[in-house]
Structure 1
Amino acid sequence: MMKIKYVFAALFFVSSALVFAQETETKKEPGHTNQSKFRQLYQEFATPNTYRSASGTPGPDYYQQQADYKMDITLDDRNARIYGEETITYYNNSPDDLEYLWVQLDQNVRAKDSKSPLRNGGGVPLAYRTGSFTGEYMTEPFDGGFNIEYVRDASGKPIPYTINQTMMRVNIAEPLKSGSSISFSIKWWYNIPDHTVNRARSGFEYFPKDGNRAYVIAQFFPRMAVYSDVEGWQNHQFWGSGEFALPFGNYDVNITVPADHVLDATGVLQNRKEVFSKEMMKRYEQAKKSYDKPVIIVTQEEAEAAEKGFSEKTKTWKFRAENVRDYGFATSRKFIWDMQAVKIGGKDVMAVSLYPKEGNPLWEEYSTKAVASTLKTYSSHTFDYPYHKAISVHAKNQGMEYPMICWNYGRPNEDGTYSDRVKYGMISVIIHEVGHNFFPMIVNSDERQWGWMDEGLDTFMQYLAEQEFGETFPEAISPDEKYPSRRGDPSKIVPYMAGDQSTISPIMSNPENVYQLGPNAYAKPATALNILRETVMGRELFDHAFKTYAQRWKFKHPTPEDFFRTMEDASAVDLDWFWRSWFYTTDYVDIGVKGVKKYYVSDKPTAEMREYMAANNITEDQLPPLVYLAEEDSEDFDPELKGKSPTEISQPLKAFMMDNMTEQERAQVQEPKYFYQVTFDKPGGIPMPLIVEYTYADGTTEQVTYPPEIWRKNDDEVSRVISSQKELVGIVVDPKAETADIDTTNNSWPKKDQPSEFDQFKENIKGK
C-alpha cells in the first residue's frame, strides 16, 4: 500500500504545481466579482422572513386579505349595457392599519380618455390588416369604462373616492385597523364592448344573421386590489397585457337577463329549478351520472328556436361561490349546453360546455372531452380540483379564464368542416384556459407583475395535458402521431432564443414591458420547465417538487422566489444556475464539440512535462514512476505505440498492477487501447447538462450525460478524457434535441455539413 500512496502523492504534487503556476500567471489580470453562473441567488432573492420562509413555504406570520361580494347585476340585451350594485366586505388580516382602500376598474382601459392606446410608440408599418386600419383611423373610440354612480358606507353615507385611470382609491373615514373589516357599496354601469374588435377580454359577439348576441362577461365589477407582505397595495395600472392580482373571497351574485337566455357562471347555481325547464332538469340529472360522454342539456334545435325570439321578460339566476378570486359569466339565447361528470379524487365534478350552433359539430364532439381530460391531468400533477364544475364557453377569437369558467376560440367553416389546425387549436386553448383554474385561480400568483407565473406554468401543464389527451382520445389525432403541441418541445423555442437580442426580454420582466409576450411569458418558461423535468432533474424529482409547490400555495399568493425555493427544497437539486440563466437573462443554449485529440500510453515524459521539469529544476530520478499520454502525430508520439495495451508499453503501470493487485483483480482489469481528449465548448451563455453520444468503430453507441456543474469552473469550454477498448469514430452533443440548442452545426464530430435548426426554420418561412 505504501507504493500506491507514493504514486498518488507524487501525482498530486505535480498537478498542484502546474495549477499553481497557471494561477500565478493570471494574478496579473484585474480582479472581478463572482460572475459564475453557479453562484447562489442571494443577491437576487429577498431575505426570508416570518411571512415567507427560505424553504419556499408560507411563514408562520403569512397572511392574506379577504374580499366578499354581494352583487345584483342586470344585463340590458337591447342596448348591450350592464348595470350593477355591489356590497364589498373587506377583511384586513394584515398587521398594518390601512388608511385607504384600492379598487380596480379594469373596464376603464376602454374609456374614451384611456391612456392605454397612447402608451406605445411606432411609425408607419409595411402594411395594415384592413380591420386594424379601420379600427385605428376610421372609427370613433368606443365609449367604454365604468360610470360610478356612488360609493357608500354601511350606513348609506357617501364615501369620497379618487379615480386614477384603472384604479380607484376609496378614502375611508378612519384607518381600517389590523384584524378588522369594513363594508361599503358601489353602484355602476357601463357599455359592453364588442369583444371581436381589438380582442377585448370580455364583451359580446353580434350575429347579424339572427340578430342575437352571445355574451362572455368578466372584469364587469369594481374589484378589490391585493394588499400583501410583498409590496403593500398592488395598484399597478391595468394597461392591457398585465392581468389581474386579486384576493380570495365569497360571492353571492344575482344576474338578471332576458328570460329566453341560457346562462352559466362562477359558483353553485342556487335556484336551478326556477330557471331550468323540467326537461332540462331531467337531462341534468342524467349528466350527473354520465362519466363517459356528455349529456345535452339544451339541444341545437332548441337553441335555434330560441334565436328567433327576443323575450321582453327577464329571469334572475342566483349563484353562490366560495373561496374564489374572481367572477365571470356567459349568457345568450343562442347557447347549446352540455355536461358530463368527471371523477376527481373521490368526488364528482361537472365538465360543462356552452356554444352556439356556429361552433358545431366541432364543439359538441371535443369541448367537454377536453375539459374532463384537463381536470384529470392537472389534478394528478398538482391537487384535486376543488370546485364543483369547469365551464368552456365558445367565443370567437377568445382565450380568457376565470374561476370555473373560461372562453375559447375554434370555429368551423359555415358548412361545418374544419381543418386539423382549427381542431387542435380549439382543444389546446380549452386545455390552457381550463388549466388556468389551477394557475392562477387557485395558486394565486400576481399576474399584474409576473405574467409567466400563471401563463408559463399553465403552458407547461398544458403540454403535459395535450400529450395525455392524445393518449386518452387517440381517435382525435392522426394515426401514429403524437398530439401536435405548439409549445413545450425544446426545439419550438429555438427561433425566439436565437433572435434579435434587442427585442428579447428576460422572463423575469413585467408583462407590459416585454417585446414578445407569447414567447416570453408562455413558451420560454414552459419549455424551461419541460427541460427541467425531462433533462435536468428527471420526472420523479421534478413531479414531487412541482406538486409540493402547488399544494403549499393553493389558495395563497406565491412569488417567483417561493416557486424557485420550493423546487430546490423538495428535490435537493441546486437550481440557482438554471433560474439565473433561463429566467433572469436572455442567454441561449449553444454547446458543441470543439475538438478531438487522440492519445497513446507512454512511459516517457512528454515535451510539456520535460519543459515543466526544466523550469522547476526537477530531474527524472526525483519523480516516482509515472504514466504519460502522448498525442498522436506529436513529437512525443512513437508509431510503435499504436494498438498496444497500456501494460505492454508502460513499465511503471505494469509494475504497479503486479505489485498492488491480486491475480483476480488483475484478471478483471479492462485495458483500454484508445485514449481521446474531447473538448466541448459553449458559445451560448446557458450551462446545461452535457448530453453526449459516442459512436465506436464496431457500430455500438454509448450515451453519457455530464451534469451541468461540469461548466462551473470554465464557462467557455471543458475537456474530458475518454478511454476505450474500441476506436471512437463519432460524437454528437444533444442527440435528441433536449436542450433548445440554437446552433446544431457544431454539435458533431466529425463535423457534419448541415444547416442548424434555426437556419432550417428561416429557410422554411421564406416567402410565407
Structure 2
Amino acid sequence: MKKNLLLSFLVLFHTFLFAQRAGYWQQAVDYKMDIDVDEKNYQYQGKMILKYTNNSNQALGKVYFHLYFNAFQPGSMMDYRLSHISDPDPRMTNNIGTLENPKIQSRIATLSPEQIGYQRIHSLTMNGQPTAFHVDCTLLEVTLPTSIQKGETVTFDMDWEAQIPEQIRRSGRNSKEGVALSMTQWYPKMAHFDEFGWHLDEYVAREFVAPFGNFDVTLHLPKDYVVGSSGVLQNPTAVKGYDKKAKVVSSNGKATWHFKAENIHDFAWAADPKFVVDSTKSAGDITVYTVYLPTNKQVKENWKTAQGLAAEFFDFCAERFGPYPWPTYTIVQGGDGGMEYGTATLVTGGRDIQSLVGVIFHEAAHSWYQHLFGINETVDEWFDEGFTSYIEELGFQTLFEKRGQLDTNPVINAYRAYYKLALSGKEEPMSLLADYYDTNYGYSQQAYHKGQVFAQQLGYIIGQQNLDKTFLKFYQLWKFKHPTPNDFKRVAEEVSGINLKWYFNLFVNTTRTIDYAIEKVADHEITLRNKSNIAMPIDLLVEYEDGTKELFYIPLREMRGEKPVESFSIYDGAQRTVLEDWFWTKPSYTLQTGKKPVKVQLDPSLRLADIESADNSWRK
C-alpha cells in the first residue's frame, strides 16, 4: 500500500514538474473598463483600472501597452507594409491603375484625419503615482515611478480617448456588410512578458499574444444598439436583444451594457442597431450566441443552421481536445473575414452555408489553439493556425459532411497546398516570425496548411491513437498557460515513447522536403530510396501473388521507438512486420519478402508528406 502511494506521488510530482516547465510562471492582468461611445463621431472615452501581477523572477522598471488603432494612420508600419509587399491583402488596398498597368494603393494611405484610428492616452498612474509614458506608433512605453517587485500586484489607472478607424483590417466602423462597430484590438492592452522577455510586436499585419486575466467591461451606447461581445452579459433585462421581456434602461438616450469574463487574454465586441440575437445550448451546457444582421430569409436560415452545428462542434472538440471551459461563446457578424477572441469571434456573415459553417468552426477551434493555451501567434503561427485548421477540418467532415468514417488522411487538401508551396520557390521556414514572411502567400500556406500537415504527419510518426492521446494530455497539462511547440513535443514523446527532436527541428526550422521512392522490386527483394534530406519512418504495404498482404514498418533510428499497430481499413487482413531501423545517413534500404510481390505501395495512408508520389507505388 505504501509502495503504491509513493508511486502515485512520484507520478503526480513528475506531472507537476512537467507541466510547470521547471519554474514556469506567467503574469496576470485584471481589467476593469468603462467606455462611453460617441457613435456619431466614431469615438469613445475610456477609463481603465488594471491590476497587474508580476509573477516573474525579476523586478520591472517599465511596462508596455499595445495601441493597435494607431496602425490605421498614413505613414504607419502597416501602411508601409501594404505598399511594399508583393502580394498585399486585397481587403486593405485599392487598385488605382488599369488592366494594362495595375497599381495597388494602401487604403490606410488615403484615410483623412476623421477616418484614421487612434488611441490617445490622457493620464496613466501606478498606485496613484504618475508615470512617464511615450507613444511609439502602436506601442506605449511606460517608465514606472518605482519598479514592480517579484510577486507584487500594482494598480494602473488610465484615461484615454480613441477614434475608431474605417474598417480596413479586423477592426473598425461601417464594415462592407454594414455593421456599425467592429471593436477588436480596441483598448490599450498590456504587452506580454514571459521567460523570453517583452513581446513588443508592432501591429503590422499578423496575430497577437497577451497575458491571461479577467475582464469587467461596461459599455455606454445608444439605447437602440445591440451588442455581441466576449464574456457573459450581466444585465440582459436592461438592454436590447437578449431578453424578450427586457425593458431597456437608458440615461441620456444611452443604454449600459455590462460584461464579465474570466481567464481570457483578449476581449472583443461589435454593435449595430439592426443586430438580432439568437442562442442555443450544446450538450455540454455551453450557451452559443449568434448576433447578426438578418438581411434576408436565406441569411437567417444559414445562421440558424450554423448555430446548431456550432453547438455540436463544441461537444465534438470537448471529446477530442478537452472540454471548453467557459460558459458562453458568441459568434458576431463583423470585421472583414474571421478572427478569434476570448469566448467570441467576429466573422463576415453574408456567406453561403458551407462557408459560414467553415469560418465559424475555424474561429471556434481557436478557443483551443490559441485562446485556451495562450499560444504566441507572433512566433509560432503554425502551432496556432495549423492546429486550429486541423481541428476545423475534422469537425467539418464529421458534423457538416456527415462522414461516417474520416478518410485515412482527412487533411489531404492541406497536403496538396503544401506541395504547391514547397515547389513554388516561395517557401520559408515555418519558424519565421509571423510578420516577416516575404509574401502573404508564403505565410498563409505555411501557417494554415503546412501546420496541418505537421499535425497529421505527427500522427503518422507516433500513431493516430497516440496523437489523439497527446492532444488530450496536452490539454490537461497546459490549459490556461502559454505553452510552446517544444511543450507539445515533450507531451507527444511522453505519450508515445518516441524521440521527436529530429522531426520538430527539420520540418519547422528548415524548408527541406520529403521524397521517397520504390527503386527496385525483384523476386523476393524490395529496395527503397530516400531521395530527399529529411528521413522518415516508412509504412510499406505489399500484396503477394496469392492475394495475401503484408505491412512492413521501418522505424527511423532517431525515433528510439516504434509506433503501435494502426487500425485503418486499407490494412485489413495485412500481417504487420516490424523491420530493423533505417539510418538517416543511409540513402537506401533493402528488405526481403517471403513471397513474390505483385503490388507495392509506399505510405498507403497518404500521411507522409512526400512531394513526389509518382514513384511511391509499383505493380507487376
Q: Give the TM bin, normalised by the shorter chain.
A: 0.7 to 0.9
Tell me, in whole angstroms, the C-alpha distance in 1 between the residues paired with 2:605 and 2:590.
Answer: 22
Match of 1:513 in 2: 436
State the shift of 1:587 in Å. Answer: 1.8
Q: Compared with structure 1, are the counterparts of its residues 272 and 410 closer, same or farther at alpha carbon in structure 2 (3 Å cutoff)? A: closer
Say if 1:267 and 1:404, in contact at 8 Å, map to a contact too.
yes
Secondary structure of 2:59's counterpart equals coil
Tell me, in whole angstroms, the C-alpha distance in 2 between the residues paired with 1:440 and 1:122.
Answer: 29
Secondary structure of 1:593's counterpart equals strand
Match of 2:555 in 1: 707
Say if 1:373 and 1:465, in contact at 8 Å, map to a contact too.
no
Secondary structure of 1:174's counterpart equals strand
Q: Name which of 346, 352, 360 aligns with 2:289.
A: 352
State the shift of 1:576 in Å. Answer: 2.0
Q: Out of 358-367 and 376-385, give the one that drifted further.
A: 358-367
Say if 1:460 and 1:488, in contact at 8 Å, map to a contact too.
no
State the shift of 1:407 in Å. Answer: 1.2
Tell me, in whole angstroms, the C-alpha distance in 1 between the residues paired with 2:136 and 2:210.
Answer: 18
Q: Name which of 471, 474, 477 aligns with 1:549.
A: 474
1:270 aligns with 2:234: yes
Q: Name which of 45, 57, 62 aligns with 1:83.
A: 45
* 1:259-287 Cα shifts (integer Å, max 9, x gaps): 011113222222222225796259xxxxx
Q: Compared with structure 1, are the counterparts of its residues 223 and 131 closer, same or farther at alpha carbon in structure 2 (3 Å cutoff)? A: closer
Q: Compared with structure 1, are the counterparts of its residues 595 and 410 closer, same or farther at alpha carbon in structure 2 (3 Å cutoff)? A: farther
Say if 1:490 and 1:740, in contact at 8 Å, map to a contact too.
no
State the shift of 1:207 in Å. Answer: 6.9
Q: Compared with structure 1, are the counterparts of its residues 131 and 737 closer, same or farther at alpha carbon in structure 2 (3 Å cutoff)? A: same
Q: Name which of 104, 117, 124 aligns with 1:151.
A: 124
Secondary structure of 2:385's counterpart equals helix
Q: Name which of 522, 531, 544 aligns with 1:683.
A: 531
Match of 1:660 in 2: none
Tell me, in whole angstroms, the C-alpha distance in 2 between the residues paired with 1:350 and 1:549.
Answer: 25
Match of 1:321 in 2: 261
Tell me, in whole angstroms, the C-alpha distance in 2 between the residues paired with 1:207 and 1:96.
Answer: 47
Q: Name which of 386, 405, 415 aligns with 2:344.
A: 405
Q: Name which of 58, 63, 84 aligns with 2:20.
A: 58
Match of 1:136 in 2: 105
Q: Name which of 376, 379, 384 aligns with 1:446.
A: 376
State the shift of 1:374 in Å. Answer: 2.2
What letter corresponds to residue 495 of structure 1 in structure 2?
Y
Tell me, in whole angstroms, the C-alpha distance in 2 between the residues paired with 1:150 and 1:561.
Answer: 41
Structure having the higher strand fraction is: 2
Match of 2:11 in 1: none
State the shift of 1:312 in Å. Answer: 7.9
Match of 1:249 in 2: 213
Match of 1:5 in 2: none
What letter corresponds to residue 572 of structure 1 in structure 2?
G
Tell me, in whole angstroms, the C-alpha distance in 2 between the residues paired with 1:577 and 1:433.
Answer: 31
Q: What pairs up with 1:577-656 in 2 under 5 angstroms?
A: 577-598=502-523
State the shift of 1:364 in Å. Answer: 2.7
Tell me, in whole angstroms, the C-alpha distance in 1 between the residues paired with 2:613 and 2:330.
Answer: 44
State the shift of 1:376 in Å. Answer: 1.1
Tell me, in whole angstroms, the C-alpha distance in 2 between the residues paired with 1:532 and 1:334.
Answer: 46
State the shift of 1:686 in Å. Answer: 2.8
Give the fraction of aligned pairs with identical amino acids, expressed as a percent: 26
Q: Compared with structure 1, are the counterparts of its residues 490 and 278 closer, same or farther at alpha carbon in structure 2 (3 Å cutoff)? A: closer
Match of 2:7 in 1: none
* 1:189-215 Cα shifts (integer Å, max 9, x gaps): 2222232x3xx112233579xxx6432
Match of 2:160 in 1: 188
Match of 1:673 in 2: none
What letter corresponds to residue 355 of structure 1 in structure 2?
Y
Q: Compared with structure 1, are the counterparts of its residues 736 and 490 closer, same or farther at alpha carbon in structure 2 (3 Å cutoff)? A: farther
Secondary structure of 1:136's counterpart equals strand
What letter corresponds to residue 523 of structure 1 in structure 2?
H
1:459 aligns with 2:389: yes
Tell me, in whole angstroms, the C-alpha distance in 1 between the residues paired with 2:274 and 2:44.
Answer: 19
Say if 1:265 and 1:330, in contact at 8 Å, map to a contact too.
yes
Say if 2:116 and 2:164, in contact at 8 Å, map to a contact too.
no
Q: Out of 710-719 and 578-587, give the one that drifted further.
A: 710-719
Secondary structure of 1:280's counterpart equals coil
Match of 1:226 in 2: 192
Q: Out of 176-185 and 727-736, give the one that drifted further.
A: 727-736
Tell me, in whole angstroms, the C-alpha distance in 2 between the residues paired with 1:335 and 1:277.
Answer: 8
Say if 1:377 and 1:465, in contact at 8 Å, map to a contact too.
yes
Match of 2:309 in 1: 370
Q: Compared with structure 1, are the counterparts of its residues 244 and 489 closer, same or farther at alpha carbon in structure 2 (3 Å cutoff)? A: same
* 1:94-151 Cα shifts (integer Å, max 9, x gaps): 221111111111222212331222247759889x999622471786235222122222
Match of 1:565 in 2: 490
Q: What pairs up with 1:470-509 in 2 under 5 angstroms?
A: 470=400, 474=402, 489=413, 491-501=415-425, 503-509=426-432
Match of 1:342 in 2: 282
Match of 1:749 in 2: 618
Q: C-alpha root-mean-square deviation of aligned residues, in Å?
A: 3.2
What letter corresponds to residue 190 of structure 1 in structure 2?
A
1:100 aligns with 2:73: no
Q: What pairs up with 1:19-38 in 2 under 5 angstroms?
A: none
* 1:5-27 Cα shifts (integer Å, max 9, x gaps): xxxxxxxxxxxxxxxxxxxxxxx
Match of 1:629 in 2: none
Say if 2:60 and 2:149, in contact at 8 Å, map to a contact too.
yes
Consecutive unaligned residues of structure 2, counting only runs of 5 or more, are 1-13, 97-103, 558-580
What letter corresponds to residue 337 of structure 1 in structure 2?
V
Say if 2:30 and 2:215, in contact at 8 Å, map to a contact too.
yes
Match of 2:587 in 1: 716
Secondary structure of 2:147's counterpart equals coil
Secondary structure of 1:187's counterpart equals strand
State the shift of 1:170 in Å. Answer: 1.1
Match of 1:435 in 2: 365
Q: Compared with structure 1, are the counterparts of its residues 53 and 112 closer, same or farther at alpha carbon in structure 2 (3 Å cutoff)? A: farther
Tell me, in whole angstroms, the C-alpha distance in 1 between the residues paired with 2:611 and 2:347.
Answer: 33
Tell me, in whole angstroms, the C-alpha distance in 1 between the residues paired with 2:199 and 2:498.
Answer: 33
What letter corresponds to residue 124 of structure 2 in structure 1?
V
